[in-house]
Structure 1
């Protein structure tokens, strides 16, 4: 696998290199070389389990959600690339993707998508009936996401609804139904996703403007740092209310201070014209997700004692 065949934001070049040559394009198509995506999909689900008080008792569910995040994020990327294959050929960062470059045929991509979804089905079968229904409701959002960048300046908001959905699944599996804390946790996660994906979209602003693709990064223009700050603040406020409803104690809110400091670092050091710096701050959100999980774990576990 040559450097030219890898997208610029590939993280695990060594992993891709040891795969059989025939398997490498499929690994890249599912973004297995970039684990940041599945971590960002996984963390909201883990938050829901933890805040509902099930992190210790249902540790197996957290592992199932991690597996589901890996394969369903992969499936989502394959589907996105099927829809966007013509657009991807026009963007410098994405023209080397397997479908856009011709390394994988359209038929093979559909078969790979089906295979990943079958693994996701195994994870879905581990859920109770209520959580199964909640999980199924996400499919319409997933199907619509690739088209959002063509019709709205805020595709990041749609992505937020998709990438945060596991929060509702994890919460409802433990709590038995959707209630206010889980819904507020989900709403905060949406704001978080809008913030970090706006940072990610900074890399493509010039190409997106040329080909007519819309994004929150373009919409915010020179006020990107201010806009991202507002969404991060909204996320913190919504999460604070969710934690308060589970355990009405100022110390519960204090558990979010580490992630608040991390968000402040992201925004304070963000340079909108520095693509590499934006990518690094985007990737740092896997750590932000861990910090929120720690807060949910402490509050949810203490509340159940």
Structure 2
């Protein structure tokens, strides 16, 4: 089978892996299929999978945003700092979202207009935004938020489904339509496939990249605010390390680290695989460090397997000719 065929069947492999994981979880835990556990399966990682949706577009576009977890923490800390200063919570929420938008546009400026690699720019952002967050809240947690705000992150909205899960579902539909059925989505693929050809074709590459990084910062800020609502308090180290899981979800979903290929269906299956895998390990009392190691191994495999398939295909095709 060619590399293209392997990549096209990636969703099938993910589906088979998901079935195996679910079967093992059912076998090992009588609580796995409970409604409460299924909701918790999503709720405990809801902020990560929200950010993974926009990260899909960024990586398909040929870029990466390592700063998303720090932007989540920054937005939550801006919100908490403004609230502690006496700002009404609705305005504090707006402030947190604007902080995320500003961080995203700042990243986008250096990538789109200055031409710096997004890996370097967002790695600097990962450090810098986290530093600002720590300065704002110093060493003490900030809490005592209004009850209605805490309920947004904790209270079921429709049956057992929370507001965060509803937001995720809406964003999934919106981003799926954007990526697969809109002019912007086509431009995202074209630029990710061949940046220079896109420029020579008259595509406004800078605007597309600025739009994606601005959206990445805003959605990361939204996820950070939802995380603050779920926890009921804010610390400077909030969401630290989340970027590993987020990027793993996207790459495991079949999105090429080099850009230009991938789809949201694969990312959706990847979300289910990782959430069920983490949930099963949690029910089996496997420690958090071991869980992180497993996710790290998945990240490595998600990068290596498609590239190995491509290399083998190239050698095979060369031999045939």
TM-score range, shorter chain: under 0.3
1 or 2 for the larger relative contact order (CA 8 Å, sep ≥6)? 2
Length-normalised TM-score, structure 2: 0.26
TM-score (norm 1): 0.27
Query: Which has the greater radius of gyration?
Result: 2
